[in-house]
Chains A and B, each alone.
Chain A
Amino acid sequence: MQSYDFKPKSKVGEFIGEKVISISAMSALVVILLIFVFIFKESIPIFTDPEIQEEASVGKMVFKQEYYEGREAKWSWQPNSDVPKYSLLPLFLGTLKAALVAMLFAVPLGVGAAIYTSEFASRRMREIIKPVIELLAGIPSVVLGFFALIVLATSVQNLLGLTFRLNALTAGIALGLAVVPIIFTVSEDALSTVPLSLRDAASALGANPWQVSLSMALPAALPGIAAGIVLGFGRAIGETMIVLMASGNAAVISGSITDSIRTFSATIAAELAEVVFGSAHYNVLFFIGSLLFVFTFLVNLGGDVILSRLKTRLQGRLE
């Protein structure tokens, strides 16, 4: 039996306890700020150090460069060649291509499954679908990358008769599998926050069940679905292991999705281990990291704002 004491409580203990708790609570805030500071700190030389700028200035990363005299100017990412080339355009294109393929694949599947689960599925069906998607979300990205590299790449190549085994299409499909759970979860959540009173009102006006779903609930939840897509896109841009393993990692400029690509994230992963500390290459990789950080930060902030607005609106508290 536990004994309870009714001594006057220690004010000091109370005070220390509260301070420890409130200081720990700042951890998430501090970590975000530290990430910001330390990633940016290492990319500052690109803007300030003339020696680094000689190799990699913002202009050199963005615009066409004439690397060898007399030859045509071009965009090129070859940080380890005699004349290091740090153009970000091929990486940007690669990142975008992989993410777009992933979205083309994941948006219809994720949103479709969300609509089915929230609007058409029976309660029992729902309790099967949700854990299945959670299972998919639980697959480590290195396993998806492995599957894309060993199995999917061969099937896609044979099916379409492609020249390059590893390409934007294969990486994009695997990336899509990683994004589906995010789009599904956020969209399904948005659809199920549409209040029952609104649904009842639509029914009372004579709408049959699918009309309630498609003409009323879906438009009402649309901002939430959009937020899910935005968050999924953020994940697709930042995901590393899948593209590192399945995209071919060739920094080429082409419009075709069946060519190999090299993305921002995969470039960091593949090159950081061998880079000289404090070199131009090192700074450029941290600069790419900063770009990824800023982009995903904005995407997440945007997604959050949309979702919280939607929730206030659907719960009847109009601004």
Chain B
Amino acid sequence: MKMVDRTEARQYDYFIQPPGFIARHAGDFSKGLTALAVLIIAGMLFIILSNIFYNGVGTISVDFLTRPPENGMEGGGIFPAIFGTVALVILMVIAVVPIGVLTAIYLQEYTSPNSKVTRLIRIAIANLAGVPSIVFGLFGLGFFIGFIGSSMDSIFFDSARPVWGQPAIIWAALTLALLTLPVVIISTEEALRTIPVELKEASYSLGATKLQTIVRVILPQALPGILTGGILAVSRGAGEVAPIMFTGAAYYLPYLPSKLNDQFMELGYHIYVMATQSPDVEATKPILYGTVLVLLILTFMLNITAILIRSKMRRARSYG
């Protein structure tokens, strides 16, 4: 060792036996510090969830879930908001799943991954996923209500009052569909990518066309992935408030939405309104917490289902 050049020796020593207390313990130190980050995140999550559960669980009852609000939101239940949320996400899924799945099929089955069109579409998807939700709200107002809805009114109706050119559940659902489109595309693509080539080859060798192969072989195989995408989209859509504020959600309605151009109440928007605009926040607090808990349980159950389907799918593939 003594014969070796000084700088070289120092480097060599450094890797074998770090000199000094700090260097010797840098490993433990960094492990501890990064573990602390995990603990802080988990701790905050725990605080939020337990606070909401503790304060909300007492409110939840059959009455709470099945009755409309009373006394200016200080009593009664949240049934119209639950109904509105469910109706909204059903309409959204009807719009987003077919388009998302077809896009994923096109990207995986019809084009080469390096073509210009594919790359352009991928850039568009990535950017769509990053557009702030409030911008979707602006767009929904400007495009669906201001452009499509108003045009429909001027073509089909000549009444002074707007029929379609106004906030409505269909416009809110379509706005959310655009917001959740990347979720469905990405999840379906992941499923398509894991389908073995042999299956497709077998189908082609039996004389099936490309379309037949897609409809009868590929789509059934990709079903869990499509399902996951749809569930994740619902979970995301059910929690978004900014895009529906101007496109259809209402503070309070005495009736349930029954037509596509009705307004609706929604859980997230209900929370926002109760938390910020209630004259007496203390009095509405139990109902507020109850509503938050219902929304959280709804989105978590959806997310957990999606995670379970996905991990089951991955395991099935890796052993298959």
| A and B form one complex | yes
Contact with A along B25-43 (1 / 0, CB 8 A): 0110011011111101110
Contact A29 B37 (CB under 8 A): no
Bound together, the chains give a CA A198 to CA B36 distance in angstroms of 27
Q: Which of B106, B107, B211, B299 contacts A140 (CB 8 A)?
A: B299
Residues in A197-247 with C-beta less than 8 Å from chain B: 205-211, 213-214, 231, 234-235, 237-241, 244-245
Q: Which of B126, B128, B303 contacts A31 (CB 8 A)?
A: B128
Contact B296 A120 (CB under 8 A): no
Q: Secondary structure at chain A's binding surface: helix, strand, loop or mixed?
A: helix
Bound together, the chains give a CA A177 to CA B299 distance in angstroms of 17
Q: Which of B125, B185, B245 contacts A273 (CB 8 A)?
A: B245
Is the CB of B163 closer than 8 A to any CB of chain A?
no
Bound together, the chains give a CA A110 to CA B141 distance in angstroms of 35
With A18-B211, A115-B30, A273-B245 as given contacts, are A146 and B288 in contact (CB-CB < 8 Å)?
yes
Q: Secondary structure at chain B's binding surface: helix, strand, loop or mixed?
A: helix
Contact A120 B34 (CB under 8 A): yes
Contact A21 B102 (CB under 8 A): yes
Bound together, the chains give a CA A235 to CA B295 distance in angstroms of 22
Contact B303 A116 (CB under 8 A): no
Is the CB of A9 closer than 8 A to any CB of chain B?
yes
- Please, could you name 18 A-B residue pairs with CB atoms under 8 Å apart, sorted by A? A17-B214, A24-B103, A25-B110, A35-B136, A113-B38, A119-B34, A134-B307, A135-B303, A139-B48, A146-B292, A147-B48, A147-B51, A150-B285, A177-B44, A238-B133, A265-B132, A289-B134, A293-B131
Q: Name A residues whose Cβ lies closer than 8 Å to a Cβ of B.
A: 4, 6, 9, 13-14, 17-18, 20-22, 24-29, 31-32, 34-35, 38-39, 41-42, 108-113, 115-117, 119-121, 129, 131-136, 138-147, 149-151, 177, 180, 184, 205-211, 213-214, 231, 234-235, 237-241, 244-245, 265, 268-269, 272-273, 277, 285-286, 289, 292-293, 296-297, 299-301, 304
Q: 5 more A-B contacts (CB under 8 A) besides A142-B269, A292-B132?
A: A142-B268, A235-B130, A265-B242, A286-B142, A296-B130
Q: Name B residues whose Cβ lies closer than 8 Å to a Cβ of A.
A: 12, 15-16, 26-27, 30-31, 33-38, 40-42, 44-45, 48, 51-52, 98-99, 102-103, 105-107, 110, 120-121, 123-139, 141-143, 146-147, 178, 181-182, 185, 206-207, 209-212, 214, 235, 238-242, 245-246, 268-269, 271-272, 275-276, 281, 285, 288, 292, 295-296, 299-300, 303, 307
